[in-house]
Amino acid sequence: MKKKLLPHVTAVLTLVVFIVLGLACASKPSVIVFDQTISEDQTVSLFVPANFQVTHFNETKLNPMWFSLVGGRDVKIPEGNHTIRYNCKITEKDTQGRDRSEYIKDATLSFDTVAGRNYAICYELDGDITNSVYFAPNVFFEILETPQTREPRSDEQLLFFNNTTQSELKVDIHLLNVNTKEERKFRFNNPSNDLLGRFKWEELRIIVPKEVKHAIACELLPRWSSKQDSNLEITADSQRNFIASSEAVRYSVEVKRTSGWGRYTRKDKYTYTLTQK
């Protein structure tokens, strides 16, 4: 009896192993390398969320396209200026908690990259989604930097931002190199809904050059900056400038909203405070 059952048990175990391995591969797709001839130190990592299909990179039609059914996908591309063409599906919940979707086809997005950094395709809506049958929001697409995991070189230092802002207020960090005028842009928490779970951080880890003056500014995301004629101002006691040296630089960022009224309409005021620890 045991000998008769053995083949069936073996088949079941083989099937289980196959399914587990298949799920593991599906949840963590391999990294795509656009050009194998380019050395690692001249490339950047671009994260493509699961709801995106990148069809063209610069003038090259991609076959296969850059996409993943779940979890998104990392692509290694050369540093420099690039343009992608893509299709995507944006799904958000309306004020009644129902899913609303919008399909965007054959859109383009241009961006600059610097070798050794990480980037992600991101989107944000302008305004809240109502319970209307039609979902046609203004969607802002951009390429933002994501935290770096590598260790800094001898001429570099770590910069950390800790977010103490209310969870519903989304904020971008602008980091300006005063010497070169290069401006870098980061976003707290998740760059887009589809990155939630993979990229969910309350602290940004950024690598900056030593002995270089940097200036910091904060910006509310479109759905907040265009709402109720709101604005974002820095508090007088904020420490906006820094120069990295032998020790890592740490900041906390806090955004506060104060409700108020204009002559006829409500007008909220937003302020942010930068505190160097």
Q: Tell me phi and psi for residue 40, to 5 degrees.
A: -60, -40
**Cβ-Cβ contacts under 8 Å for 249 (sequence gap 6 or more):** 157, 158, 159, 160, 208, 242, 276
Residue 17 has pLDDT above 70, yes or no: no
Which pLDDT score is estimated for 199?
Answer: 54
- Using a cut of 0.85, tell me whether the model's pTM lies above it: no
Q: What is the pLDDT of residues 63-80, one digit of tens each?
A: 999 998 888 899 999 999
94-124 residue pLDDT tens? 667 777 777 889 999 999 999 999 999 988 7
- pLDDT per residue as tens digits for the range 138-192: 677 889 998 888 899 999 999 999 887 765 667 889 999 999 999 999 987 654 4
CA-wise closest residue to 75 among 111, 122, 134, 31: 31
Tell me the CATH class for 151-277. Answer: mainly beta
Cβ–Cβ < 8 Å for 213, 243: yes
| Cα(255)–Cα(234) distance, integer angstroms | 9
Instruction: Region of 181 please: left (phi>0), alpha (psi -120 to 50) or beta.
Output: left
Preceding omega of 49 cis (within 30 degrees of 0): no
The band of 21, judged by pLDDT with boundaries at 50, 70 and 90, is very low
Domain boundaries in the chain?
30-146, 151-277
